[in-house]
Amino acid sequence: MGKYLRLRDRLLASGEFDAAEFIVPPAATDSEIARVHCGRYVTRVREGALTPAEQRAIGFPWSEPMVERSRRSSGATLAAARQALASGWSANLAGGTHHAFRDRGEGFCVFNDAAIAARALQAQAGLTRIAIVDCDVHQGNGTASIFALDDSVFTFSIHAARNFPFVKEASDLDVELADGTSDDEYLWHLERGLDEALERARPQIVFYLAGADPYEGDRLGRLGLTKRGLARRDEHVLATLHARGIPVALAMAGGYAHDIEDSVEIHANTIHTARRVWAT
C-alpha cells in the first residue's frame, strides 16, 4: 500500500512534473459503479456486510477507508480516461484492480476501475470501441469476465501462465508466458499481441494496466523481466498508441518487489515514458 504515496513523492521530486499536474479526482459514484457491479455486492461492500470468505478472497479486511479507497481509485481511472480523451494521455497513480468481478472481489481488488471507467465513457462520451491492454503479470480475470459477452470492450491480457488466478477466464486475447520469461521473449509476444489487439479492437481509447510485477525481483511475479525490459515494454505500448493517435489512460496495477523502491521506480518510469512519448 505504501508504494502509491512513494510513487507520487518520487514523481514530484523528479522535477519533471508541476504540482498542479497532480489532481485528486472525485470518487466514482454509485451509479458509475452500478454499471459494472451488481447492486447486492456494492451494498455489501458499502455496509461492511462482506462475509469472512469474501474478505479473505479480497485479501484485506473490510474497513470504511477500504471502501473509500476503492471508490477513489475507480474515480481516478475514470478521470484519467477523460483527460486522455482531451490531451492524449493521463494516469491513475494507483488502480488496475482487474481481479474484481461483477459480483465479487479477489486479489486485492474490490471494484474494477477500468471497467467502471469504460462503461462511463460509453454512457457519457458515446465511445463504442474500447480496449484494455493488461500487462500486469496476473491475468485480468475480472475484466475478462465482465466483458466476456461484450464486443464493445476488447480485453487483452499478457501474463504468467502458472500464476494467480489459477482458474483463468477467457479474455478476447490471452498470451500466457512460461515461468522465467526474459525481456526479449516477453517483447516478442507483446509486440504480436498488441498488434492483434489493436487490429481487432480498433479502439478509440486504451486502458493500459502497466503492472510492475513482471519484474524478476517481484515476490508474486514468476517472470524474469529486468527494469530495462519493463521500460522497453512501456515504450513499445505507449509509442505504438501514440503513433496511431489512440489516447491512453494508464493504471499502475500490481508491483510487489522484495524492495518496494524497485516497484516504485518501475511505476515512475512508466509515467516518465508516457510524458516523453507524448511530448514528441
Residues annotated as part of the active site = 99
- Among residues 32, 113, 134, 136, the one that binds Zn ion under rule CB under 5 A: 136
Position 222 contacts Zn ion (CB under 5 A): no
Position 134 contacts Zn ion (CB under 5 A): no
Position 106 contacts Zn ion (CB under 5 A): no
Position 213 contacts Zn ion (CB under 5 A): yes
Determine the interface stretch with Zn ion among 84-92, 135-143, 185-193, 225-233 (rule: CB under 5 A): 135-143
For residues 159 and 138, is the Cβ–Cβ distance under 8 A? yes
Q: CB under 8 Å, gap of 24 or more: what pairs does 1-9 form?
A: 2/260, 3/255, 3/260, 3/263, 3/264, 3/267, 4/93, 4/94, 4/252, 6/260, 6/261, 6/264, 7/93, 7/252, 7/264, 7/267, 7/268, 7/271, 8/93
String of DSSP letters for 146-172: HTTT-TTEEEEEEEETTSSPSS----S
232 is written with which cell numbers?
522497453
Position 71 contacts Zn ion (CB under 5 A): no
Position 142 contacts Zn ion (CB under 5 A): no
Nearest residue (beta carbon) to Zn ion: 254
User: Is the CB of 32 or the CB of 106 nearer to Zn ion?
Assistant: 106
Site track for Zn ion across 243-262, x = CB under 5 A: -----------x--------
Binding site for Zn ion (CB under 5 A): 136, 138, 211, 213, 254
